[in-house]
Amino acid sequence: MAAKSALPASSPPYRTRQRLPPRCRLSSADVTLRGEDDTPDRYGRQPAFAFLAGEETPVQSELLRRGEALVSAEVTDKDCAADLAAAEAEARRARKGTWADPTAIKNAESTGDILAAIGRFTVVEGKVLSVRQAGATTYLNFGRNWTRDFAVTISRRMMPTFEAAGLGPKSLENRRIRVRGFVEARGGPRIEVLRVGQVEVLGGK
């Protein structure tokens, strides 16, 4: 899961039983960090969940409910990931925190807005206009100009995982999706999809 600063976290499975106390306690409270391993990711971060003493709900879950965090796709336990996604959705529907800003979710057609988020964890929504493969990479294109418009990239090694999840790239053509990840500039803005959870198919085309 990613906080507003886009720091992801992963943890053993847990069940939400109670809400965290007000944030004013976090600055002086003792916390326990729980992660799957000590290996930093490619950005030098070490993912972990933070738990206040005596609490069974991670701090990140409360931040999500307040709209002060974004969910990443790095939590592998399905129940845990579903709980976090539900907490984010609750804040998004209520337009709390980050979600009060109408530009919190970037429009895939607004290339400039997405480029302004280079290096940051970002959520983008739009319609996949075309799907093409170039070498070992598949591109989900959200614009007609492949070199300048926003696109999502998926490496060949990820294809079996996406196919197994019912998210074969061709099935996403002409569908509206929500994608999240770190924005990079490769001509136009790009988000590389490394996990199925980064892509969410929305209701309409």
- pLDDT (tens digit per residue) in 67-112: 999 998 777 778 888 889 999 999 999 999 999 999 999 999 999 9
Residue 192 token pair:
């590389």
* Shared domain check, 91 and 133: no
* Shared domain check, 65 and 114: no
| Domain end call among 99, 134, 158 | 99
Give the separation between CA 112 and CA 188, rounded to whole angstroms: 9
Give the separation between CA 3 and CA 60, rounded to whole angstroms: 7
Low-confidence stretches of the chain (pLDDT beneath 50): 1-25
Output the domain CATH number for residue 185.
2.40.50.140
Tally of structural domains, the chain:
2
Q: Which domain holds residue 135?
A: 105-201
Based on the number of CB atoms within 10 Å of its own CB, is 40 exposed (0-12), middle (13-18) or buried (19 or more)? exposed
Give the separation between CA 35 and CA 87, rounded to whole angstroms: 20
Task: Please state the pTM of the whole predicted model.
Answer: 0.78
